[in-house]
């Protein structure tokens, strides 16, 4: 009971309680009626508020609130989270609050280890309202894991009563969009592979699921009955040409960050921002080409993972996984994605093995999208500064604080990332930097 009594008080309420008791003791010793009345009034107010809060919070113990973060959740989107299920009568001088607390793992770094950025956000519910909106967002991509719960607060800020069941959520935050140029690609044709099907697979090959707009006379009713789905016959002459695009996302960490991880440290925010911008460029690349030609099939590879993206559902599922994809230990590897078409590589200046990988890809044509750190302003000439300022994507560290995140100090003032010197047949450089 003593522990519960202490937890009900906020720092302000505990201070008022202590001051009122001190004044009461002094006034009794000095027999000061005015101070006795003042201290007793303060204690009586605390007693009434505390008793009312305990009674109401116990009645709201079984209350369940709906917490629906926006999907997909995007960094710097400025959207609000909808809170529902708040239909209840609140006593006078009290307000119902909804609080979110947890950890944010930028670019998925450290997820599962419990070393994320502490996150706290809160909103109050207006009297008579059954829902509320919570301003809840992040400046970079990553993973948020935390809980949301209701609390009863008095308008004086003396008491804090937790009520209702906690709601736990894991939310993948996608990168804020970037707007690049139009992409000109040389995709590998997949039509030859389809013509090499055996005769036993021929019937399956020239049929597909029914889609709106197909003629009813083309439906294969016999095959549809077997698999309980409508199957449409497709003539070989009308066969759609399929093109494959090989993409390699190199999410390799800088060497110095690996050493810090072994000692319990983490990578810097600058490195994580470079990875975030590489994710944004890859997302823009895939979406743009899918809008241009829906028949494109993407084979995307990262460190230890690979995806086959054929339609919009596959693309959305991949983008969700991409948001949580973190750095991997650097590797010196040879090109294992051989083919006749172009290879599209997305990487950052943290990838020290990139020059060797590009050399191993020869003679295959490679298009490289590389995120480099921006130069310091004091090192630029006036003409160069004017030219490059519009090309730099900047992350301001104070955006973490404004969004309720508290980044680790060692991640802010860590070692700087140096620019990487590489050469590919086609190279597009994206500059990204951080500021306080």
Q: Does residue 179 form part of some domain?
A: no
Q: Does residue 183 form part of some domain?
A: no
Range of the domain at 203: 191-238
Statement to judge: residues 226 and 248 lie in one domain: no
CA-CA-CA-CA torsion for 423, 424, 425, 429, nearest 10 degrees? -90
Q: Does residue 39 form part of some domain?
A: yes
Statement to judge: residues 426 and 302 lie in one domain: yes
**Cα→Cα distances 261→108, 267, 323, 410, Å:** 14, 8, 21, 12
C-alpha to C-alpha distance for 171 and 69, rounded to whole angstroms: 8
Q: Which residues of the chain have pLDDT under 70?
A: 1-7, 114, 180-184, 186-206, 210-217, 234-242, 256-266, 332-340, 376-390, 414
Residue 16 in 3-state DSSP?
Answer: helix
C-alpha to C-alpha distance for 262 and 253, rounded to whole angstroms: 13
Statement to judge: residues 53 and 77 lie in one domain: no
What are 371-404's pLDDT values in tens digits?
988 876 544 455 444 444 457 888 888 888 888 8
Statement to judge: residues 6 and 49 lie in one domain: yes
Statement to judge: residues 417 and 276 lie in one domain: yes
Statement to judge: residues 167 and 287 lie in one domain: no
Q: Is beta strand 305-309 parallel, antiparallel or unpaired with respect to 296-302? A: antiparallel
Q: Does residue 285 form part of some domain?
A: yes
Q: How many domains does the chain have?
A: 4
What pLDDT does residue 346 have? 93
What pLDDT does residue 111 have? 77
How long is the chain? 436
What are 196-250's pLDDT values in tens digits?
444 344 444 467 776 655 666 677 777 777 777 777 776 554 444 557 888 999 9
Statement to judge: residues 264 and 159 lie in one domain: no
Helices then strands (H, E): number in the chain? 13, 18
| End residue of a domain, out of 174, 206, 225 | 174
């Amino acid at each position: 009971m003593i522990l519960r009594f202490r937890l009900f008080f906020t720092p302000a309420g505990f201070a008022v309680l202590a001051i009122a008791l001190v004044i009461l003791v002094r006034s009794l010793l000095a027999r000061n009626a005015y101070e006795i009345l003042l201290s007793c009034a303060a204690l009586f107010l605390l007693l009434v508020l505390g008793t009312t809060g305990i009674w109401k919070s116990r009645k709201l113990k079984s209350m369940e609130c709906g917490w629906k973060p926006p999907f997909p959740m995007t960094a710097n989107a400025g959207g609000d989270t909808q809170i529902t299920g708040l239909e209840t009568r609140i006593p006078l001088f009290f307000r119902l609050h909804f609080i979110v607390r947890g950890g944010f793992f930028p670019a998925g770094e450290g997820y599962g280890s419990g070393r994320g950025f502490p996150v706290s956000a809160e909103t109050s519910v207006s009297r008579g309202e059954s829902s509320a909106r919570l301003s809840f967002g992040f400046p970079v991509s990553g993973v948020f894991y935390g809980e949301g719960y209701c609390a009863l607060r008095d308008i004086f800020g003396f008491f804090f009563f937790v009520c209702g069941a906690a709601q736990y959520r894991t939310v993948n935050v996608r990168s804020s969009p970037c707007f690049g140029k139009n992409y000109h690609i040389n995709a590998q044709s997949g039509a030859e592979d389809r013509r090499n099907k055996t005769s036993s697979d021929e019937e399956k090959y020239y049929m597909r699921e029914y889609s709106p707009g197909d003629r009813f006379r083309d439906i294969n009713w016999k095959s549809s009955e077997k698999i309980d789905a409508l199957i449409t016959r497709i003539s070989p002459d009308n066969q759609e040409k399929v093109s494959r695009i090989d993409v390699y996302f190199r999410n390799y960490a800088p060497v110095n960050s690996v050493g810090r991880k072994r000692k319990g440290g983490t990578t810097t925010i600058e490195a994580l921002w470079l990875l975030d911008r590489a994710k944004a460029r890859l997302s823009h690349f895939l979406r743009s080409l899918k809008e241009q030609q829906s028949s494109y099939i993407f084979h995307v590879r990262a460190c230890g993972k690979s995806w086959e993206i054929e339609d919009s559902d596959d693309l959305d599922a991949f983008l969700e996984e991409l948001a949580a994809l973190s750095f991997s230990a650097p590797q010196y590897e040879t090109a294992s994605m051989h083919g006749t078409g172009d290879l599209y590589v997305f990487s950052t200046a943290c990838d020290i093995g990139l020059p060797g990988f590009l050399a191993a890809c020869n003679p295959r044509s490679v298009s490289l999208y590389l995120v480099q750190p921006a130069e310091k302003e004091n090192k630029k000439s006036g003409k160069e500064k004017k030219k490059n300022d519009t090309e730099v994507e900047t992350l301001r560290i104070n955006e973490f604080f404004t969004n309720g995140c508290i980044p680790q100090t060692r991640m802010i003032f860590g070692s700087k990332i140096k620019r990487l010197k590489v050469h590919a047949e086609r190279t597009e450089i994206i500059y990204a930097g951080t500021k306080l």
